[in-house]
Amino acid sequence: MSDLPAGALAAVLTAEPLDRLLDYRVPEGGVAMGDFVVVPLGPRRVAGVVWGPGQGGFDPSKIRTIAAVLDVPPMRAELREFLTRAADYTLTPLSAMLRLATRVPDLGAPPGSRVLLQRGGGTPDRLTPARARVLDVLDEHGGAGFPPGELAALAGVSSSVLKGLESQGVLVRIAAPRDMPYPRLDPRHGGHALSDGQAQVAAELRARVDALAYSTTLLKGVTGSGKTEVYLEAVAQALARGRQALVLLPEIALTGAFLDRVEARFGARPAEWHSGVTGAERRRLWHAVAKGEAQLVVGARSALFLPFRDLGLIVVDEEHDSSYKQEEGALYHARDMAVLRASLSGAAVVLASATPSLETWVNARAGKYGRLDLAERFGTALLPEMRAIDMRADGPAQGAWLSPPLVEEIRTRIAAGEQSLLFLNRRGYAPLTLCRACGHQLGCHQCDARLVEHRFLKRLVCHQCGESEPIPTACPKCAVEGRLAALGPGVERVAEEAAALFPDARIAVLSSDQTESARSLKARIEQIASGGADIVVGTQIVAKGHNFPLLTLVGVVDADLGLMGGDLRGAERTFQLIRQVAGRAGRAEKPGLALVQTYQPQHAVIGAILQGDEDAFWQAEAAAREDAGAPPFGRMAGIILTGPDEARVFEVGRRLAQSAGALRKLGAEVYGPVAAPIARIRGRFRARMLVKGPKGVLLQPALSAWRAGVEVPANVRVVIDIDPQSF
């Protein structure tokens, strides 16, 4: 069916950073809305999507003709609408949204025309570093095949290296698995007998999926209450109705265990979508999703942009997790986009969490979202007992971080063969290195940030830009030798202290350092889960859904850490993080204990954490947010101005502040520019502004006109962040 006949004009959206549609002449055979096409653009050919009838107004003799219509399922109206609305909401160019929706190599290449390289049975005669990198890439992707070009690029080797390996049988050629079907999932396979509470919630969720209409439901329940068990029943219902389902997870390292669980429930593995999936596999999945053959996709936030044929359910697991906010490029929040996408495709959304975001909690209170609670842990597992340790009275000696009561509990656990987890949300050995001779603090030369000592790496690392340098012996400022001191604790230092206290204990550090691959992290987590450590010292990575059955003690090393600083979300984050971490203790039959080290046991947030009176906490937080006119009670946009020239950055900010009349007329307030909390990153100065508007007014059109109305020099960047995560 063609909407536009040959010779007519079509407006084509490409992923090029142009910020407008381009007119092309429709070729023989016509085109339909949503068709994927190839169009000439300057000397190149690029892929695009027919977005509407041409606008005209150009010199007709200059208009070029669509070069080809690709043989792939057209983009459905619903996805086009989603991209348009998401672009409008986040003030992101539509072309950038299309880029998210077409992250697949060789979209339209004919089937069977491609070969992949895969691991063969041979061993290389010599293992050069280049060859080792090729094998590493293949190993990391569990034996998947790669297009030769992609494999060479990922391993950073030339094609001759691949040819050499091929001639020795280390690599073999196979046909691309594009048409290899996904195994069918059986909604009646597996499944546990549910407890009464679980069965009730599952029935409600099934009914919402059965309504074949949009709805959003908060599924709230402590860690171990069976949220996953129950939302898999909703997935089963979507599959039984012949609709597709999408489960979003906040962390790639978690997908492996989750896929195993899905396989146990449905008898086959679902499709998987995240940055660690190979290009060939992404391409296969993209086509299978478009054709409706992939019934269930498990993935990262970008899976929201896949071309589902009939999406019936989106689950956002750990919906409060801050990693759902994309902080680069298109600044979108996956939770909000899931709700938008579902509303356009008539799907149910399930937002699952033990500690929901305040936004979701308020939406549920207002009746905008449904709310279902799982009150208890499944089976005999009990919630951990929580106690504060008043560090003013019971703290450790100077230079130590573990209080005597906590140390005693760890000792008891080791004797009983149980695990302890020490949580500190600080990577590295020490957050501050200072010269005791002159007082100089070691900082990054391109960021306004301290250098953090990492003792395992034997380097000082900047957590902003990732640059690192060897640890000097003399102060770089006053050149005095031997007076540099590491101040304050990071996880490595806590691990060192634990090792000194318990020399025979096996100690593991879990920290999200960029140097570790997802695969190796996953392997270490599994090793810990199976009893391979007595004491685990970890950053916030341990808060995310890992199941450690032997863990019965959690020690929060510094509960006050997130409560300082002016961020309105500080209390919410601290509450979520400590409750989540504490929830790791005592999941199996053994009861858990969480000890919270704090210098301010009377603090309201610490009190709420200990009492576990969650609704009271959220009530108070909601009131504070409402007073501040902050989301979800008001609308906010953050403006981030960056550039190498500080004066220019601020000048643009001041001009924006002066020309905000239209925004103010809408009832919005404009604050700033002020230096950002980290005022320089990678040599670029950073200033922030904040626009706060009343809830009932959509600010985006005015924001967009505002930015467009101020002249911005080429070396200043202005980014608008709708619903910023920190304010």
- Known binding site for Zn(2+): residues? 435, 438, 444, 447, 462, 465, 475, 478
Query: Contact, 80 vs 307, CB < 8 A?
Result: no
Task: Provide the strand spans (E) within 277-430.
Answer: 296-299, 311-317, 348-353, 370-374, 385-390, 419-423
Name the burial class of residue 29, with classes exposed (0-12), middle (13-18) and buried (19+) by CB atoms within 10 angstroms of its CB: exposed
The correct pick among 168, 200, 464, 512 for binding Zn ion (CB under 5 A) is 464
| Of 356, 388, 380, 382, the residue nearest 369 (C-alpha) | 356
Q: How far from 408 is each of 349, 367, 414, 501, 595, CA to CA, in Å?
A: 45, 47, 10, 10, 11
Rounded CA-CA distance 374/378 in Å is 9
DSSP string covering 226-246, please? Answer: SHHHHHHHHHHHHHHTT-EEE
Cβ 680 to Zn ion shortest distance, Å: 9
| Residue 195 binding partner per list Zn ion, ligand ADP, none, with a CB distance cut-off of 5 to 8 Å that depends on partner kind | ligand ADP
| Residue 583 binding partner per list Zn ion, ligand ADP, none, with a CB distance cut-off of 5 to 8 Å that depends on partner kind | none
Rounded CA-CA distance 619/487 in Å is 38
Q: Does 560 bind ligand ADP (CB under 6 A)?
A: no
Question: Other C-beta atoms within 10 Å of 128: how many?
Answer: 12
Contacts of 547 (CB under 8 A, 6+ apart): 257, 529, 587
Query: Contact, 134 vs 162, CB < 8 A?
Result: yes
Nearer to ligand ADP among residue 225 and residue 357 (C-beta):
225
Task: Provide the strand spans (E) within 531-570.
Answer: 535-538, 551-556
Q: Which structure tokens are listed for 55?
A: 């606008």
Give how many residues touch Zn ion by CB under 5 A: 6
Amino acid in position 150: E
Nearer to ligand ADP among residue 192 and residue 654 (C-beta):
192
Cβ 510 to ligand ADP shortest distance, Å: 19
Nearer to ligand ADP among residue 85 and residue 261 (C-beta):
261
The vertex-691 CA angle with 319 and 364, nearest 5°, equals: 30
Cβ 449 to Zn ion shortest distance, Å: 5
The correct pick among 465, 505, 604, 710 for binding Zn ion (CB under 5 A) is 465
| Of 329, 416, 344, 364, the residue nearest 592 (C-alpha) | 416
Task: Provide the strand spans (E) within 363-429.
Answer: 370-374, 385-390, 419-423
Please confirm whether the linkage preceding 632 is cis (ω < 30° from 0).
Answer: yes
Stretch that binds Zn ion, among 33-41, 460-468, 471-479, 574-582 (CB under 5 A): 460-468
| Residue 200 binding partner per list ligand ADP, Zn ion, none, with a CB distance cut-off of 5 to 8 Å that depends on partner kind | none
Query: Contact, 352 vs 613, CB < 8 A?
Result: no
Cβ 214 to ligand ADP shortest distance, Å: 24
Q: Does 695 bind ligand ADP (CB under 6 A)?
A: no
Nearer to Zn ion among residue 388 and residue 447 (C-beta):
447
Q: Does 580 bind ligand ADP (CB under 6 A)?
A: no
Stretch that binds Zn ion, among 258-266, 454-462, 527-535, 577-585 (CB under 5 A): 454-462
Q: Is 318 helix (H, G, I), strand (E, B) or coil?
A: coil
Q: Does 586 bind ligand ADP (CB under 6 A)?
A: no
Nearer to ligand ADP among residue 352 and residue 639 (C-beta):
352
Question: Other C-beta atoms within 10 Å of 447: how many?
Answer: 22
Backbone dihedral region for residue 528 (phi beyond 0: left; psi -120 to 50: alpha; all else: beta): alpha
DSSP string covering 258-276, please? Answer: HHHHHHHHHSS--EEESTT
Cβ 374 to ligand ADP shortest distance, Å: 7
Considering only residues 324 through 363, tell me which ones interact with ligand ADP, judged by CB under 6 A.
none
Nearer to ligand ADP among residue 370 and residue 431 (C-beta):
370
Q: Which structure tokens are listed for 94?
A: 């539509």
Cβ 379 to ligand ADP shortest distance, Å: 7
The correct pick among 50, 290, 358, 444 for binding Zn ion (CB under 5 A) is 444
Nearer to ligand ADP among residue 95 and residue 353 (C-beta):
353
Rounded CA-CA distance 679/523 in Å is 38
| Residue 192 binding partner per list Zn ion, ligand ADP, none, with a CB distance cut-off of 5 to 8 Å that depends on partner kind | ligand ADP
| Residue 319 binding partner per list ligand ADP, Zn ion, none, with a CB distance cut-off of 5 to 8 Å that depends on partner kind | none
Pairing of the two strands 22-25 and 9-14: antiparallel
| Of 354, 396, 410, the residue nearest 577 (C-alpha) | 354
Considering only residues 157 through 216, tell me which ones interact with ligand ADP, judged by CB under 6 A.
192-195, 198
Cβ 108 to ligand ADP shortest distance, Å: 40
Q: Which residues are annotated as a binding site?
A: 435, 438, 444, 447, 462, 465, 475, 478
Cβ 441 to Zn ion shortest distance, Å: 14
Cβ 618 to ligand ADP shortest distance, Å: 19
Pairing of the two strands 634-643 and 684-694: antiparallel
Cβ 474 to ligand ADP shortest distance, Å: 51
Task: For the sheet with 451-454, list strands across it.
Answer: 451-454, 459-462, 468-470
Cβ 446 to ligand ADP shortest distance, Å: 42
| Residue 227 binding partner per list Zn ion, ligand ADP, none, with a CB distance cut-off of 5 to 8 Å that depends on partner kind | ligand ADP
Stretch that binds Zn ion, among 324-332, 445-453, 576-584, 618-626 (CB under 5 A): 445-453
Pairing of the two strands 9-14 and 44-53: antiparallel
Query: Contact, 546 vs 419, CB < 8 A?
Result: no
Nearer to ligand ADP among residue 168 and residue 195 (C-beta):
195
| Residue 465 binding partner per list ligand ADP, Zn ion, none, with a CB distance cut-off of 5 to 8 Å that depends on partner kind | Zn ion
Please confirm whether the linkage preceding 631 is cis (ω < 30° from 0).
Answer: no
Q: Which structure tokens are listed for 316?
A: 């956002």
Cβ 547 to ligand ADP shortest distance, Å: 6
Considering only residues 217 through 246, tell me which ones interact with ligand ADP, judged by CB under 6 A.
221, 223-229
Nearer to ligand ADP among residue 319 and residue 497 (C-beta):
319
Considering only residues 363 through 402, tell me which ones interact with ligand ADP, judged by CB under 6 A.
378
| Residue 447 binding partner per list Zn ion, ligand ADP, none, with a CB distance cut-off of 5 to 8 Å that depends on partner kind | Zn ion
Instruction: Convert residues 404-443 into a mask of x (bound to Zn ion by CB under 5 A) and - (unbound).
Output: ----------------------------------------
Provide the binding-site residues for Zn ion, judged by CB under 5 A.
Answer: 444, 447, 462, 464-465, 467
Provide the binding-site residues for ligand ADP, judged by CB under 6 A.
Answer: 192-195, 198, 221, 223-229, 378
